[in-house]
Homo-oligomer: A and B are copies of this chain.
Amino acid sequence: MQSPDSAVPDGTNRSLELAISADGTPEPDRVYTIDARCGIAVRLRKGQVLRVINPSGHQVCDFWAFCAENLGEHLSMAHVHTSLGSIFPKVGDALVTNLRKPLLEIIEDTSPGVHDTIVACCDHARYRELGCEGYHDNCADNLRMAMSVIGLRAPRVPAPFNIWMNVPIAPDGGTRFAPPVSRPGDVIRMRTLSDAIAVMSACPQDMTEVNGDGVAPGILQFVVEDA
């Protein structure tokens, strides 16, 4: 098990082969595919729009965004909660950093709007807890790998914006992992408010129902639209 801030993954997968370019700069309007269980980082300029697509409808996207000029500043869900007065970001909402700076604005969400902003991404320790003895693909390592293949070092693994992830909170505070309520082809579009590095992981969780009941983790797609 790595130190929590290590940029070295606990294990590796095909994320190491998926860099979209040497520094993560995308070709506008091209549809990129994130292989099942893998992660990709993309460099976004202010004004560009990131479109994330859920082809199967049941695949969760663990999502992070770091300020391009200082990777220590990044989206922070704990700050988003105060900023929005809600745990569910919706169209028109800006997602803020750990310095409370608006970094991305949600401009379209075709899903019912059920996303998670309270649980950590899956990691090596999580699969150990769940009884997995060997290496299991995980979102923390996907983040580390996706950053490293475009020449960057994730300074840590922030709590993610878990797009399409369904973690209902009961009146007594109880939480559970439920299948997504999103639908095939659902799309979320976010406008970049300040230059950023976004990272998307097609969550490999197959030991809970969080990526759908009885289905294998699937692919995701994304497109960067120029301003």
Could you list which residues of chain A lie within 8 angstroms of chain B, going by C-beta atoms?
Answer: 1, 3-5, 70, 72-73, 76-79, 81-82, 85-88, 97-101, 118-120, 123, 125-126, 129, 155-157, 159, 167, 169, 171-176
Contacts and interface: CB of A to CB of B under 8 A. Distances in A.
29 contacts: A3-B70, A3-B73, A4-B72, A4-B97, A4-B98, A5-B72, A5-B155, A72-B156, A77-B78, A79-B120, A81-B119, A81-B120, A81-B167, A81-B175, A82-B175, A85-B174, A85-B175, A86-B175, A87-B169, A87-B173, A87-B175, A88-B172, A98-B120, A98-B157, A99-B125, A100-B129, A118-B118, A156-B156, A169-B169
A16 to B, nearest CB: 23
A129 B173 CA distance: 29
A117 to B, nearest CB: 8
A72 B97 CA distance: 20
A82 B126 contact: yes
Dominant secondary structure at the A interface: loop
Nearest to A121: B78
A4 B118 CA distance: 20
Contacts of A79: 120
| Copies of this protein in the complex | 2
A126 B155 contact: no
A100 B176 CA distance: 17
Nearest to A160: B78
Contacts of A4: 72-73, 97-99
A201 to B, nearest CB: 15
Given A81-B167, A100-B123, 12 more contacts: A4-B99, A78-B120, A79-B120, A82-B119, A82-B126, A82-B175, A85-B176, A86-B174, A87-B118, A87-B169, A88-B172, A156-B156
Contacts of A88: 172-173
Contacts of A5: 72, 155
A182 to B, nearest CB: 16
A100 B126 contact: yes
Contacts of A98: 4, 120, 157
A106 to B, nearest CB: 14
